[in-house]
Amino acid sequence: VFFIVVMIASMGAVGFGTFGGSSGSTGAPIVNVETTPQPTSDAQQWPDGPPPVIDATTAHVATLTTSAGDIVIDLSTEAPAAVNSFAFLAVKNFYDGAAFFYVDQDYFAQTGDPTCTDDGERICSGLGGPGYTLAIEDSGLGHDEFVVVLAANSDGGPNVHGSQFRILYTADERLDGQETVFGTVREGASRDILTNLASFSVCSVSTAADCQEDLSAALIIEDVAVEAS
C-alpha cells in the first residue's frame, strides 16, 4: 500500500507527519514529494489486520529498548484497537531495528516505518506500514506533551492508522480527534532520552538543508515489549 503525502495546510492525515517543521520553524515538515515509496512486500505484512493478542481494555505498559536506553510508555485502555495493534506488531518483532527517522524538538519524533530501519535494506520513505489500517479511536487523551499517537495516512478512507507512531514534544489541540492518542511516555529517564535527541531527518523523507543521507545517527528501536501493568 502506498500513501500520498500531503501538507498540514489541508489538515490531511498522512503517514509521515501531520504537522511540524525543521527545528525553529513554524511550518509543516518539508517533505520530499519526489521520493518514490519503497515497496514493503519484503517486509512483514498482514492485510487481514491484527488478531487479538492482549486484553487491551486492561492496563498495559510498553518498553521500547532503544540504542539510547529504555523508553517506557503507559498505554491507554481507551484505545484498545490501537494498543492491540501495537502489541501485535511488538510480538512479531515488527519494530525491531526501526529508526526514529524524523525528530524535531519543536514538534515530534516519529518511527515505526518498516522501510526506515538500521539495516539499510530499503529506501526510507516515511510511508511504510503493516499492510492494514485502523480507524481513529477517541481515547480521551489530548495532544499533550509526550503523548504517543498513531500517525495517520492519506488513503482517503475511514481507516487512517498503520504502524507508524509519533511522540509529541509540543502540545497541539488542533489535532485532537484527527488521530489516535494511545499512550503517554513516563516522566523521568524515558522523557530524558527523547529530550536529549538532536533534530534529525533523513534526506529521502525531508528536503531540509540539514537532512542526513542515512540512518546511522538516528535513535534505533532494538526491541518492544508490552506487558500488563
Lowest mean pLDDT among 28-37, 83-92, 115-124, 219-228: 28-37
| Domain 8-31+59-228 homologous superfamily, CATH | Cyclophilin-like (2.40.100.10)
Whether residue 183 has pLDDT greater than 60:
yes
Amino acid at 23: S
Whether residue 35 has pLDDT greater than 80:
no
The pTM is what?
0.82
Condensed to tens digits (0 to 9), the pLDDT of residues 100-109 reads 999 999 999 9
Whether residue 37 has pLDDT greater than 70:
no
Alpha-carbon distance of 195 to 192, in angstroms, equals 5
pLDDT at 157: 61
Smallest Cα–Cα separation from 134: which of 82, 77, 84? 82
- Return the percentage of the chain with pLDDT > 70, whole number: 79
Give Rg (Cα) of the chain: 16
59: Cβ contacts below 8 Å, ≥ 6 apart: 74, 75, 77, 228, 229
Condensed to tens digits (0 to 9), the pLDDT of residues 108-161 reads 999 999 999 999 889 999 999 999 999 999 999 999 999 999 998 755 566 789
Alpha helices (H) in the chain, listed in sequence order: 80-91, 189-195
When comparing pLDDT for 82 and 15, which is higher?
A: 82
Domain boundaries, the chain: 8-31+59-228
Smallest Cα–Cα separation from 163: which of 92, 66, 95? 95
Mean pLDDT of the chain: 83
Whether residue 196 has pLDDT greater than 70:
yes
pLDDT at 178: 87
Whether residue 221 has pLDDT greater than 70:
yes
pLDDT at 152: 83
